[in-house]
Amino acid sequence: MSVVMIRGFTATTTKIKNLLSKNKDVAKFAGRERKYFQTENALIDKIDAKLDELRSNLDNTHTTYLGRDLCLVKTKWGGHVVVPGYNVDVAVGIIRDGIHEPWTTRLVQESLKYGQTYVNVGANFGYYTSLGGIIVGNEGKVFSFEANPVVFAVLLKTIMYAGIPNRTTAFNRAVYGNTGSDLAFFFDYQFAGGGHLEFDNDEKASLGDGFWSAESIAPILDSDGRWVPAKGIMNTFRTKTLALDDVLKANKVDLLHCDVEAAEPYVIAGARSTIRNSPNLRIIFEWSGYSFAHGSDEYKETVKNMWGFLKTEGFCIRHLLPYVHADGGIEFSGPLSYEEFIVGEHGDYFAAR
């Protein structure tokens, strides 16, 4: 709905209210007529409230094209994020709605305070880095990690446009269980948020244009020319690893937020000292039972070790349900058992002592 339409509706409801008021002053109506006008006034008040909500959303978000396929978005929560226009996973909600994963956005807002320390692993182009940086303020710290050099370049722009370089330390490295390993990744520019380790020998990097175009789309079509969403125009890169314990050292962390496409157990393995030394720590991490079911024996053992460590440290793990109530509230599952966790549906999970 456009600003012009909203202004038109507002003017109309104002005129109706004025007419109702004048009619009431002209004559005294019987009880039935008075009740009718009261009902009409209540309905108009509801319309006005909805118009105020729409007007607020329009006033609080906007998108500016920066050139080179980059957009600067002012979000619903008042921050700024630079997003690539060619991206069609994470960028869609931010550009269209001014918000990404409203339930997780709310959880970050509720889990962080001014002056605290936020660690964002798998930062992508910086939506949550910007959000966390605004919340913790000048007295807080943000550590932001993104392995993909293409996406990392956009992350740096977000940090600058968000006005948080004074509190943010960014690393173009993959967070893992150890420091110094060399890892290979696959990613699709259109779905850059879904980059993953090179583990499928049948997956090959594209030799041509990595962006959707008439010349490049053949790898994502079947023999009938039908688009297969599970396929991608894959690109590859290599990067070094970092363990959080080696980077954070004596820093006490208040919120550890991981979105690294099933590699979260390795992140936790390299952060054990940090977790032990951070008594107020909360952890948000992406998880899918599918990854466990299709993982190697080594991966399943790493998951089991993660669960055992977190339970030993007193953490309770719950699934963050993917919706926000009308009053802005969010909801969790009950505490999960290991058997429930390893078959859990894809989504964000929350660990707290």
SS (H, E, C) the chain: CCHHHHHHHHHHHHHHHHHHHHHHHHCCCCHHHHHHHHHHHHHHHHHHHHHHHHHHHHHHCEEEEEECCEEEEECCCCCEEEEECCCCCHHHHHHHHCCCCHHHHHHHHHHCCCCCEEEEECCCCCHHHHHHHHHHCCCCEEEEECCCHHHHHHHHHHHHHCCCCCCEEEECCEECCCCCCEEEEEEEHHHHHHCEECCCCCCCCCCCCCCCCCCCCHHHECCCCCECCCCCCEEEEEEEEECHHHHHCCCCCCEEEECCCCCHHHHHHCCHHHHHCCCCCEEEEEECHHHHHCCCHHHHHHHHHHHHHHHHCCCEEEEECCCCCCCCCCCECCCCCHHHHCCCCCEEEEEEC
The answer to whether the CB of 148 falls within 8 A of the CB of 195 is yes
- Structure confidence at residue 21 as a pLDDT band (50, 70, 90): low
d(CA 320, CA 291): 18
d(CA 42, CA 56): 21
- Structure confidence at residue 3 as a pLDDT band (50, 70, 90): very low
Specify the range with the lowest mean pLDDT, choosing from 8-12, 74-78, 277-281: 8-12
Q: What is the mean pLDDT of residues 195-209?
A: 58
Q: What is the mean pLDDT of residues 162-169?
A: 98
Q: Is the pLDDT of residue 159 over 80?
A: yes
- Structure confidence at residue 178 as a pLDDT band (50, 70, 90): very high
Q: What is the pTM of this model?
A: 0.81
Q: What is the mean pLDDT of residues 218-241?
A: 91
The answer to whether the CB of 115 falls within 8 A of the CB of 140 is yes
Residues linked to residue 333 through DSSP beta bridges, in sequence order: none
Residue 190: its pLDDT value, please? 87
Angle at 337 between CA 302 and CA 194, to 5 degrees: 50
d(CA 127, CA 134): 11
Residue 111: its pLDDT value, please? 98
Residue 261: its pLDDT value, please? 87
